[in-house]
């Protein structure tokens, strides 16, 4: 849309008062031109607003793509960390089993049993539930 055209039209509407047309005709034609200039002005303003919003929309889209990549990378890192944790669970459980074997036949130790139970419970319940809700973002 063209700002220059609207300005010229508005100027022409002002100059129209100097015509020698009958007053009723003058008013009618002037009103038509004025209405047209107003409608064009409104359309031009909205076109400008849409242009700005489109630029913002496109910028947001670029930012979203970057953020999605970062989050998916973070998820990969987290999953790698979980795999390392799984290996640690295995080592801890091996150590627990070795101690349990060496303790066989000895009087029950509440602290030890609580620890052994906590390891078993975590191993069985925590690790499989880790990050199951998180899926890579599309």
Partner 1 sequence: MNQKCYDALKAATDDIDKSNLPDNAKTALRGAANQLLFRLKRGIDTDKDLTQKFTDFKKRQQDHAKEKQDIAKRIDTLKGHVQTVLATQQTAQKQFDAYHAAHKTLKDQPFDKLSECVKAAAAGIRVDAKI
**Among 23, 104, 105, 107, interactor with partner 1 by CB under 8 A:** 107
Among residue numbers 3 through 22, which ones bind partner 1 (CB under 8 A)? 4-6, 8-9, 11-13, 15-21
Give me the torsion for CA of 13, 16, 21, 27, rounded to 10°. 40
50 binds partner 1 (CB under 8 A): yes
Q: In angstroms, what is the minimal distance from the CB of 23 to partner 1?
A: 13
Phi, psi of 107 (to 5 degrees): -60, 145
Q: Whole-angstrom Cα distance, residue 84 to residue 76?
A: 13
Question: Is 124 within 8 Å of 116 (Cβ atoms)?
Answer: no
Question: Is 135 within 8 Å of 93 (Cβ atoms)?
Answer: no
97 binds partner 1 (CB under 8 A): no
49 Rama class: left (phi>0) / alpha (psi -120 to 50) / beta: alpha
Q: In angstroms, what is the minimal distance from the CB of 105 to partner 1?
A: 13
131 binds partner 1 (CB under 8 A): yes
**Among 69, 73, 80, 82, interactor with partner 1 by CB under 8 A:** 82
Q: In angstroms, what is the minimal distance from the CB of 65 to partner 1?
A: 11
**Among 24, 27, 43, 105, interactor with partner 1 by CB under 8 A:** 43
3-state secondary structure of 71: helix
67 binds partner 1 (CB under 8 A): yes
List the structure tokens of 58: 């496109």
Question: How many residues at the interface with partner 1, by CB under 8 A?
Answer: 78
């Amino acid at each position: 849309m063209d700002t220059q055209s609207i300005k010229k039209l508005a100027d022409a509407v002002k100059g129209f008062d100097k015509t020698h047309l009958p007053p009723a005709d003058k008013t009618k034609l002037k009103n038509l031109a004025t209405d047209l200039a107003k409608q064009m002005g409104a359309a031009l303003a909205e076109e400008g607003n849409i242009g700005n919003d489109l630029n913002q929309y496109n910028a947001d889209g670029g930012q979203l793509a970057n953020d999605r990549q970062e989050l998916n990378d973070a998820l990969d890192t987290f999953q790698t960390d979980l795999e390392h944790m799984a290996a640690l669970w295995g080592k801890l459980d091996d150590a627990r089993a070795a101690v349990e074997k060496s303790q066989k036949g000895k009087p029950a130790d509440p602290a030890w049993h609580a620890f052994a139970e906590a390891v078993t419970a975590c191993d069985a319940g925590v690790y499989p539930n880790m990050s199951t809700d998180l899926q890579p973002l599309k």
